[in-house]
Amino acid sequence: MKLFSSNTYQERRQHLKKSLKGGILLFAGNEESSSNFKDNWYPFRQDSSFLYFFGLDLPGLVAVIDLDLDVEIIFGDELTTEELIWHGEKTKIADLATAVGVAQTRPLKDLQQYLDNGRKRKIHYLPPYRPENVQKIVHWLNIDVAQVPAQASDDFIRAVVALRSIKSNEEIAAIDEAVNTSVKMHRRVMQQAGAGMKEYELRAMLTGEAMAAGGNLSFLPIVTIDGQILHNHNYSNTLSEGKMVLGDFGAENELHYAGDITRTFPVGKKFTEQQKEIYQIIYTAQQAAVRALKPGIRFLDIHLLACKKLAEGLKEMGLMCGNVDDAVENGAHALFFQCGLGHMMGLDVHDMEDLGEEYVGYTPTLKKSTQFGLKSLRLGKELEAGNVVTVEPGLYFIPQLMDQWEAEKLHKDFINYGKLTKFRNFGGIRIEDGFHINPEGSSLLGDPLESTIEEIERLRSK
Amino acid sequence: MKLFSSNTYQERRQHLKKSLKGGILLFAGNEESSSNFKDNWYPFRQDSSFLYFFGLDLPGLVAVIDLDLDVEIIFGDELTTEELIWHGEKTKIADLATAVGVAQTRPLKDLQQYLDNGRKRKIHYLPPYRPENVQKIVHWLNIDVAQVPAQASDDFIRAVVALRSIKSNEEIAAIDEAVNTSVKMHRRVMQQAGAGMKEYELRAMLTGEAMAAGGNLSFLPIVTIDGQILHNHNYSNTLSEGKMVLGDFGAENELHYAGDITRTFPVGKKFTEQQKEIYQIIYTAQQAAVRALKPGIRFLDIHLLACKKLAEGLKEMGLMCGNVDDAVENGAHALFFQCGLGHMMGLDVHDMEDLGEEYVGYTPTLKKSTQFGLKSLRLGKELEAGNVVTVEPGLYFIPQLMDQWEAEKLHKDFINYGKLTKFRNFGGIRIEDGFHINPEGSSLLGDPLESTIEEIERLRSK
């Protein structure tokens, strides 16, 4: 198990304690997760907030910070002699706790009593996203299952989001490492993909590359010739000349920090002229958005800037028309760009998505829009130095959506429906990289990966 | 999604219906499973009994067979237009149902009413192993969560076990395919492993090989220089000369049938003399066990036969002493072979483990032993033609266990504790293959994989 120094975890907890008034902070670690029978497990993934404050990458742990008594405790059980036969000798809980700067440990059976004693005080918990942890909260705190999301602690969530949103130098180094592995994964796929191969063969390559670096994938990969399907987890198509492959995937390193990159490349050696035209629009939009990244600017405005660049390009091609600003304000561009420009990245690929977008991406005064397109933007609020974000514009030609809008005559002043026919089977293109916001602007995370049309064609022809 | 013909599923359900008297059979399909936030999913894995009877490899489905009305219904919801943007156009539920020979479909919201209407009759369900499916049962049937395991239907479980235990020819072909991929995975690891590599690099190779065949792993792989740890899911050690690698892993094919093979090979080109001695004992025990496989013999007796062969070999080496039959009867050999000889294999690598070992591996008259070693034998009952089983003897030198037994003077008439010192850091060896029980005896599943000392050394020196 790889850890930062014990100081790192102690400092994180000190900051957390300072930002909360009182009560008990309850951190439910994750359990093993069953696939097709109880003991056939998916690879273990610890909860990210547990990792951030307590580091220990093992199932069956619960941690408590008692703000009133200024006590930190890790609850967990030692292996029995018989479990040791199956799972090997494990480090003692007390030694694990010491490694992350926690002085007290207790067996799990003591947790209920501890919480019962604290019942008159506020017990803060984060919103659970796994059903077994929902059940634990129900059981520990004796509340109704339907009440579990609503009773999660607002103050606790805000304090965790404030800390985890600003990445330290050692976190940036960890993210760089994950991104560098992600770069290798993409390069291998771009170099080895070819007509006649199955998408699952590309999945095999990129997964192997992530694991060979000692980590795992940071999310279920998208690697598909149907790039217009935004979250495509099907890998059964055959690559054919004329199509493009959209690959959206990344690694997480041993510390579980994520990388997340997207590239779209032609199955043949060269992009077609039509593909080049669309690709260049997206590339230009990404460059403009990246140049605008800096502390103090709302990511919502970066998103809208990218949307305008996309709409300008589409207008030049004749697919859109009218005033570009009006088109974007009305959401007409969302026929082609249905999602958001990016998201925070850290211990989760969509960092802290479990804690709620209203905390992570928005503020009490900046609420998420309900407009189609904008409502899928995970991050709207002002950027701060230390944030890590992705920038991932794209254009997606979804036949069913184009038919539906045309039938409804939606935004007909901004869209030349007659010219869309040639793009029905085009697919989709996305370009995505990760950036670290610094006082001067931003810097690319990890090593640069081939991204222009020329760079990709050069890589493909090697 | 790959399927057998609709006839296959119809016939399976016909057989099931004939073996049950009345009531409603409820099949809860699996959902997506979250790792570090709700929408960051592990690869989807459908429930195996759902796959067996209804084939559909998609989340969010429930199936019902109403025995009294002779009606089969698949409950599931169509994608909304908006979901389609994210997940692509999916086949309509009615067409999916037709593909597996089911005439009726209904939206999920109708399920509760259907079950409420049937409440006066028996509603049979299988024991759920995922927490979200436990919750569904609680909700649908309005029973207490603590009652869910106990109220699972005995008759339903027995009927499913009886059917799934006997594999059809098309199932054997599917298992052969999964085993053949597993053979390729092992061969690649045995050919490419070398001193200085990390275990996780081997994990990367074998995972890539499984995915390149269009499937997945059938279970969390074991690939370790600490072979004495029976279920080792740590991959951080470095391979070094003098050590052996124990690899226990396999693929599942697109239909989700499993392969499961173990090989143990030297990190160097050659086994040491000590390694050869131990390896040969295990190989001999496996051969003897395989020769004894046939319908009508209890797998318990095959297990005991293998134990005696192991004990004989250890006695020849001077590690055990006394009468071999007595030693095995008393469980003295379990110091070195702490687990069972094998298990059923099919849609699950430990086939039907979710349904309960008392049904799958034992009978009302043959109960599982409580003796250390024997109590870990998953399969004891008489074999039948059509069964698929693994045969996987091994010898494991666990320092903590040897110390504990020696301190307790356990089985001191059968074990030469003084001679064990040389084996403290030996590790462990296992050899495992899968077999199809036929009327004449058994046949190896899939292509033969290098297994003798000579074959493995030849493969390693290529």
Of the partner residues A37, A131, A231, the one whose CB lies closest to the CB of residue B354: A37
Delimit the domains of chain A by residue range.
6-165, 169-460
CA distance B326 to B377: 19
- CA dist list (Å): A302 to A259, A324, A327: 21, 16, 16
Q: In B, which residues are within 8 Å of A214 by CB distance?
A: 198, 200, 235-236
Nearest CA in chain B to A135: B131
User: What per-residue confidence (pLDDT) applies to A171?
Assistant: 98
Cβ–Cβ pairs < 8 A, chains A and B: 174
Surface of B (29-88) touching A: CB under 8 A: 33-45, 47-48, 81, 84-88
Cα(A340)–Cα(B108) distance, integer angstroms: 31
> Same CATH topology for A6-165 and A169-460?
no
Helix B199-212 to helix B169-192 angle (10° resolution) is 140
Q: Does ipTM surpass 0.90 in this model?
A: yes
Task: Tokens for B142, please give them.
Answer: 């309005």
Enter the CATH code of domain B6-165. Answer: 3.40.350.10
Q: How many CB atoms lie within 10 A of CB B13?
A: 21
CB B392 within 8 A of CB B262: yes
C-alpha neighbours within 13 Å on the C-beta side of residue B358: 5
B81 and A234 within 8 Å at the Cβ level: the answer is no
Residues of chain A with C-beta less than 8 angstroms from the C-beta of B37: 48, 129, 348, 350, 352-354
Of B207, B174, B42, give the one whose Cα is nearest residue A203. B207
**pLDDT on residue B462:** 80
B residues 279-318 lying closer than 8 A (beta carbon) to A = none
CB-based contact, A370 to chain B, within 8 Å: no
Q: Hey, is the C-beta of A104 within 8 angstroms of any chain B C-beta? A: no
What distance in Å separates residue A400's CA from the closest CA in chain B?
8
SS3 (DSSP) at A8: helix
What is the structure's pLDDT at B82?
82
Contact B353 A40 (CB under 8 A): yes
* Interface touch B36/A45, C-beta < 8 Å: yes
CATH 3.90.230.10 at A169-460, yes or no: yes
Tell me phi and psi for residue B383, to 5 degrees: -75, 150
A59 token code pair: 């199932």
Is residue B248 within 8 A of residue B272, CB to CB? The reply is no
Distance CA B116, CA B131 (A): 22
Q: What is the pLDDT of residue A119?
A: 85
To the nearest whole Å, the CA of B7 is away from the closest chain A CA by 24
Bridge partners, residue A281, by sequence = none
Facing B45 at nearest CB: one of A35, A229, A400 = A35
Whether A212 and B220 lie within 8 Å, measured CB to CB: no
Nearest to B7 by CA among B104, B98, B105: B98
In 3-state terms, what secondary structure has residue A249?
A: strand
Q: Which residues of chain B have pLDDT under 50?
A: none
Closest CA–CA distance from residue B122 to any residue of chain A (Å): 25
Give, in order, the Cα–Cα distances in Å from B297 to each of A115, A445, B380, B388.
54, 62, 10, 14
Query: Taking CB atoms and an 8 Å cutoff, what residues of chain A touch B338?
Result: 85
Q: Does A232 touch chain B (CB under 8 A)?
A: yes
pLDDT digits (tens, 9 = 90+) for B326-361: 999 999 999 999 999 999 999 999 999 999 999 999
Number of other residues whose CB lies within 10 A of the CB of residue A352: 26
B12 contact partners, CB below 8 Å, separation of at least 6 = B52, B53, B163
Chain A, nearest residue to B135 by Cα: A131
Nearest chain B residue (CA) to A32: B35
- Chosen from A31, A34, A36, A235 to mutate, greatest number of chain B CBs within 10 A: A36
Strand partners, A66: A24, A71
What is the DSSP secondary-structure string of A70-89?
TEEEEE--PPPHHHHHHH--
What local confidence, expressed as pLDDT, does residue A251 receive?
A: 98
pLDDT at position B85 is 84
Which positions of chain A have pLDDT values less than 50? none
